[in-house]
Amino acid sequence: MKTTIALMVSVLMFVGCSDLNTENYDTQLQRRFIENGIPEGDYTGTFSVVYNNGETYSNPVTISFFNDYTFNSSDGPMRYPAGGNGSYEITEDAINFTDLKVWTADFDWNLILNGKYHYTIQQNKLIIYANKNKAGTYTYTITFP
């Protein structure tokens, strides 16, 4: 009986520590992002927008981050997403993108990677999202290179 209880306690400690280690890793990674910028590389994944009227669009996306706090985002079919390139600043809870491209006025400019986005880190994914101008939620779910 004592062996069974000891085994159960050990398993619970292992499972609890696994979750804690993952959380600590994500927190440590976030701290490094704030101190040093997002590590240089091509982050690939999915862009999606869910408009307040229920319409949803989704396409593959690549965001390239560089050591000098600049970025380049790919564009998708029908500008979902539109893309963007410029500089960024990262804080504890947000990434502020400053797009430098010149754009035409024939589409939803919220599709440009520009302005304030919140972010979360979940193991090997960086999730960048914003509810822009009460039009909808714009989300980039990208995987670390």
For the chain, which domains are there? 37-143 (2.40.128)
Q: Which residues partner with 121 through β-bridges? A: 126
pLDDT in tens, 4-53: 444 344 444 444 444 445 568 888 888 889 899 999 999 999 999 999 99
Predicted structure pTM score: 0.82
Note whether 119 and 95 are within 8 A (CB). yes
Distances (CA, A) of 85 to 73, 74, 130: 6, 9, 17
